[in-house]
Every structure is written in structure tokens, then in C-alpha cells.
Chain A
Amino acid sequence: MSPLLSFFTSIDPKAKPGIPVKVQLSEIDRSLKVPTLLFLIFAVIWLQIGSFFAIVSSIKMHNPEFLANWEWLTFGRARSAHLNAMAFGWANQAIFAVAIWIMARLCKTAVRHGGLLVIAGIFWNIGVAVGVIGILTGGLTSVEWLEMPPQVAPILAFSYVLIAVWGIIAFRFRQLGHVYVSQWYILGALFWFPWLYVVAQIMILWEPARGTVQAITNWWFAHNVLGLWFTPVGLAAIYYFLPKVLGRPIHSYYLSVLGFWSLALFYNWAGIHHLIGGPIPVWLISAGIVASVMMVIPVIVTAINHHMTAVGNARAVWASPTLRFIVFGAMSYTLVSLLGSAMALRDVNVVTHFTQFTVGHAHHGVYAFFTMVMFGSIYFMMPRMLNREWPSAGLIKVHFWCAAIGIGIMLVGLHVGGWIQGEQMIALDAEGNPKYTFLEIVKNLVPWLFSRSVSGMLLSIGHIAFLVHFFWMLAGPKISQYKDGPTLLARLNKEEGA
């Protein structure tokens, strides 16, 4: 610390005297170690389970006889088990770990009574397990993003309250007046998700609304899970780790304010674009389209902020495991959101709606953006909590390349295949009859669906590398082991190699 800075710190009433920041942070990390590790361990296990169901359902789409005689693995159930294992098992628990950890660090406050978090975490996993088994054994609700039997919801809601309250308590006990952009996003997410979940559960499953109000509620919820739960936490993580690892401030404070409020305002109206052409009042659809297009504002603003922060540091980004994943995620966020806005336009939507294009879009958002950012965050958090480094740069590279190439193949396959499928679906010949029969369209789609299975295999290899590496690190020696510094994926300076 420079003499000048230490002087100002010493006369700042809010700064605790005598405790260096690093010690303070490692105290916080230690207080969160047990619950965060618990969430991450289960998250990584659910990631594998989700991958298994993903591959099964993907193969079933081009090879319908695959495991066809087992009712519990029929396509509708396997794909729902995949979605829920990933959304509630992997993504939510990654969010709990990453969001609460970032929140505690930014608030500079250790977590009190972490034991309750552990109990809530165990109940959460019991809830997800019962839910996924429920889906496979006939409790599937066929409500998109809410497939688990409704009886599971109270368990999940109870655990959620116990977990999220910790983020809010940390915020309550924060030090220093300024609230960083990541904290706004996490606070917002922690408030938004339970509201969405409870309203959707009640209005669709417990006391169903009448008619297509259900569908409107369904898409308000399903799209907002991405927009007001996954996205804010993903952005919070990018806003936290990008400046942190690079050691430079975020590009523009003003832009981050604009980005946050425009996201909060527009995203939650955008879900209705899933019902364009559907049996609901037209003004609702128009509102959904307007909001989807307005999403360009937060996306561009956030993109400028992220990319201008990273620009000029390509070497550091490439060398750091955290940044390699996170910058991949940030670039995907920009791309997927702009594509999403385009997909809401009626002329584009008439082609892409009902096709694999939408499925590709969903994976673009949840995997290429959100999951990659979570991977990057975990690569940063684990060494701080365990006081030891990742044992193998090679395994991180395997993980990164399998994920990056795998998701790349899937995105190309589903977007191109889905577009062709959509164009053929609406193509009419000179007499006004459909140009292609339905079966022709399906046959043309099969090679693209096959490419998705290939990408699924690659992604799963990456996940297995991650699993092995994760548990290798957990089981590693207890003593601090800093070797020659952090595990990097490339040399930082050219001179170093010489």
C-alpha cells in the first residue's frame, strides 16, 4: 500500500484499521468455504447427470428406436429431466455459490451461521432429486421450465429462502458506502427469482389461471428465469471477475447504471415473443416484441463496458482460466442477445418459431454465456477457498476446448438446421400448397440433429474433465501449495519463455 493511500485509509472511519484487505478477503472466503463447496460439489454432479439425459434425448431425436422401450426415458421425459437437472441442479447451485461468494466479498463481510446454508443446500438437492425422479416416473407437468411435480416446489422454495436470505444479510452488514454494479445485479436476481417462481407455480399448477393466461404466465416465467436470474448473476460475475483479474477498473460507471436499469425494465416484458402468432391478445405480443427489441440497449451498453475493459489485454485473457471462460461468455452474451432481439421481429419469428433454431438459441444463452461464465467463476473461487492451485493446466484446456468447440458445433447445427426447417415449413409453391411435406422437412433436419449429438459428446467430455479436475483439487494436499503462482493456460509475457 502506498503511503498516501494508507494515510487516507487510516483516517477513513469505515476502514477497519490494521487488517489488510487480503487477510480480510481470505477470512470471508474461509467463512463461506463449507457451504460454497457443498453447492459446487452437487452442481458439478448434476452437471454430469444433466449431460447424460442431454445425450440420451439428443440421440433419440435422430434415432427414435434408441432406448425406445423404456417409458421413463421416452423423449419428452428425458429432455425434461435434462432441462431440470441442468437448470435446478447445476445452474441454480452454481448461482448460489457464485452469487453469495461475490456478494460476501463485495460487502466485505464474513457469512454468519453458514451451517444453515448447508442444511438448505441439502434440502435443495433432495428437492431436485425427487423432482427429476418425479419427471422420469410420470409426474411430468408439461409446463416448460416447471416440469417437476408441483409437490416439490415447497421444498425448493423453503431452501431457496434460507439460501437467498444470506445474500441479503451479507448486503445488510456490508462495509463502505458504495455499492458495486455486481451487487445490484445479485440483489435484483435474489429478489426476482422467488417472485417469478412462486407466481408461476401458483398460477399454472396450484390454482391454474384460465385459458391462455397460463401460457402467458408460463413464458413470463420461463423467459425471466433466463433474463432476471441467470443473466444478472452471469453479468455480476463478469463485472466482478473481469476487472479483478485484469487489475483495471470497469470501462464506464455510467454505462453500467444504464445497462442495469434498462435490463430491469425491458427484459421482463420480452418473454411474450415466444407466443407470437399465438392465441393471445395482439397488444401483448406487440409489447413483447417492443421489449425484446429494446433489449438492444442494455446489451450494447454492457457489451461496450465488458469488451472495452478487456480490450488490449488479450494475452492476460488467454492465459487466465477464469478470463478465458468469462470472456467467451461475455462475447456470447452480446451475440445471443442481439440474435434474440432479431428473433422477436415478426418476419424472422415466422421462420424461427417452432423450430430447432429456438432450441439452439436457448443453448446459446444458457451454455455459451451463462455456464461458461460460471465455469470461469469456479476456476477463480476454488483456489481462494482451498488455498491451493488447480493441479493441471492441461485439464482446464481440455475442458475449455471441448466446451468451446462443442457449443460451437451445436450452435451452427441448430441455427442453420432450424432456419432451413423453418423456411421449408412455410414455403409455398405457385398454387399456394406447401412445397415440402412434413416428413421431407423432418428428414432434412436429421443430419443437423445428429451434429447436436456430436457436440453433446464433446461437451460431456469437457464436463468429465472438469469433474475429475474438481475432485482432484478437493482431494489434494491440505497445505498451501503455490508452486510458481497460479495455474495459467499460457505464458503471460513473451520474454518469460525466452
Chain B
Amino acid sequence: MKNLPLLFLGIFFALAFSWMGLILSSEIQIGGLKPTTEFVVNPDTEEQIAGLYFTDENGRPVEGVPAVGEATFPQAIPGDAQQGRLIYIDQGCLYCHSQQVRRKGYGADFERGWGNRQTVARDYVLQPRVLLGTSRTGPDLMAVGDRLPSSEWHYLHLYNPQFTSEGSIMPPYRYLFETREIGDAPSPDALKIPSNFPSEQPPEGYEIVPTERARQLVAYLQSLRLNYELPESRFAE
């Protein structure tokens, strides 16, 4: 090969092509998605239409703002859950747990109870970092807040996954808890370690309580819910 300008141009355009095709065009297509009401009815056609609308002075739907009093989805998560997301990130939970549900009939996500519907791009628009994950060494967590709403379960599971899921290969996160002397009265949050784990019991007069980080992480896990429908993704039958 002697035609060097051609070589350079080829090298350049090969990547430019995929960058425009995959990244730029998906940014144009889905980068501007906003939270939306589940659907609205167009008064002209009586059709349900997708998107974010409110009505102008003539009663016609206008894109941009929800109708007064209407909730939009997905919803922002509370502040402690947002802190918990940062802990989820720095502990690397993503490397075993995905957060995406595939459509019914493709895989068995629906049958495993990981979500009632396929997740779509709009489900993720409020997340500062999207944690789709590509591994299911552990179960999918997209809707774990719906499945396991009890914080006590989560604390026990994080402290030692064997308490709740015997045979699990998830590492224990004991360092998110502290063992402290019982004060005037036992803390209401103190872990109730199952009696078949005698070696894990705190010493007499001590209790194991979740630290602030454990609380935030559990708040995040509980915030992961898929209990709303979007116009482009309805609950599967």
C-alpha cells in the first residue's frame, strides 16, 4: 500500500463512521428523553399518546411539562438513596448484579420475578451513572425494592449473605456495620443474627448495628422499583 492519504482517511473514517452511527445517533434519538406521565389522551383523536404533555389555552396537548398534579416517571430517588448509589458504585456491586430486564420471552427475567416489564431507555434518564451491568453472578436488581421491601432482610443479607441465602457466593459486607456496646437500651436497628450462626453472634452486652453507609446502601436498593408503566413499555401479562 503506497497511497498514504487514503490510508489515513480510511483509518479516520472507519472510527468516525461508528462514532456517528452508534454514539451520535443514539444521543440524538434517546439522549433527550425526559420523564413522562404514563400516557395522555389526545382530545382530538381520543388516542393515548406517549410523551410529556400539557394543554395550551385551546386545550391541545403541548410537549414539555406534565399536566398539573400529574406524577412523571421514572421518579427521582431520595437523597440518602443517591448517596447509597455512590456506595453501590465504589463497592463494585455492578460487576455481579445487572439492572436491566429483558422482554418477556427472551430469557427468563419475567419468570424469575425480576420485573413485570422490559426496561427501556427512558427508565434510566434520571440516573447520573447508568448501571446496566453485564453480569448476573447475582440476581438482577432493577426491581429489588419491589421484591424485597424489608430493610431488615437487606441488613442481614449484606452483613453475611449466608444468613438469608445459604450457598450464595456474594461476599459479606461486615465492614458496613459496627459492633458496639449496648447503651441504655438495645438499638432498634440491631441485627438479629440467626441462631444457627453462633460464631457470628456479637459478644455478650454488644450489638451489631448498620453504619450510615449501610443505611444509605439499603435505601438505594429499596429505591430500585419498577412499579410504573411507560407508554413504550407496559406490564407483561
A residues with CB within 8 A of B: 60-62, 64-65, 68-71, 74-77, 79-80, 138-144, 177-179, 184, 187-188, 191-192, 195-196, 199, 203-204, 208-217, 220, 224, 228, 257, 261, 264-265, 268-269, 271-272, 274-275, 277-281, 284, 287, 346, 350, 353-356, 358-359, 425-428, 432-434, 438-439, 442-443, 445-446, 449
Contact = CB atoms under 8 A, between A and B. Distances in A.
Interface stretch (B43-51, B59-67, B127-135, B217-225): B127-135
A179 B2 contact: yes
A350 B102 CA distance: 10
B175 A69 contact: yes
Contacts of B122: 211
A337 to B, nearest CB: 17
B76 interface: no
24 contacts: A64-B169, A74-B92, A74-B173, A75-B92, A76-B96, A187-B8, A203-B23, A209-B27, A211-B33, A211-B121, A211-B127, A217-B23, A265-B14, A268-B17, A269-B18, A274-B134, A275-B132, A277-B102, A358-B135, A426-B107, A426-B108, A432-B111, A439-B165, A439-B167
Nearest to A62: B169
List the 5 shortest-distance A-B pairs measured between CB atoms, nearest first.
A76-B92, A268-B18, A354-B136, A264-B14, A277-B102
Interface stretch (B112-120, B190-198, B201-209): B112-120
Nearest to A75: B171
B103 to A, nearest CB: 7
A191 B112 CA distance: 45
Contact of A280 (B11, B26, B90, B167): B26
Contacts of B21: 269, 287
A404 B100 CA distance: 37
Contacts of A195: 15, 19
A213 B31 contact: yes
A462 B108 CA distance: 41
A279 B121 contact: yes
B132 A261 contact: no
Contact of B131 (A75, A139, A142): A142
Interface in B148-172: 161, 165-172
Given A261-B10, A264-B10, A280-B121, A214 B129 contact: yes
B94 A76 contact: yes
Contacts of B166: 439
Nearest to B122: A211
B71 interface: no
A199 B23 contact: yes
Nearest to A214: B130
A277 B103 contact: yes
Contact of B95 (A79, A209, A350): A79
A142 B122 CA distance: 21
A73 to B, nearest CB: 9
A446 B15 contact: no
Given A68-B172, A279-B119, 12 more contacts: A61-B137, A69-B175, A70-B175, A195-B19, A214-B130, A264-B11, A269-B18, A278-B132, A279-B121, A280-B26, A284-B26, A358-B134
B119 A216 contact: no
B108 A76 contact: no
A75 B2 contact: no
Contacts of B95: 75-76, 79-80, 142
Contacts of B58: none
B201 to A, nearest CB: 17
B236 interface: no
Contacts of A275: 132, 134
B89 A439 contact: no
A438 B19 CA distance: 38
A212 B23 contact: no
A446 B100 CA distance: 25
Contact of A213 (B4, B30, B134): B30
A170 to B, nearest CB: 14
A210 B32 contact: yes
A209 B175 CA distance: 33
Nearest to A427: B108
B98 interface: yes
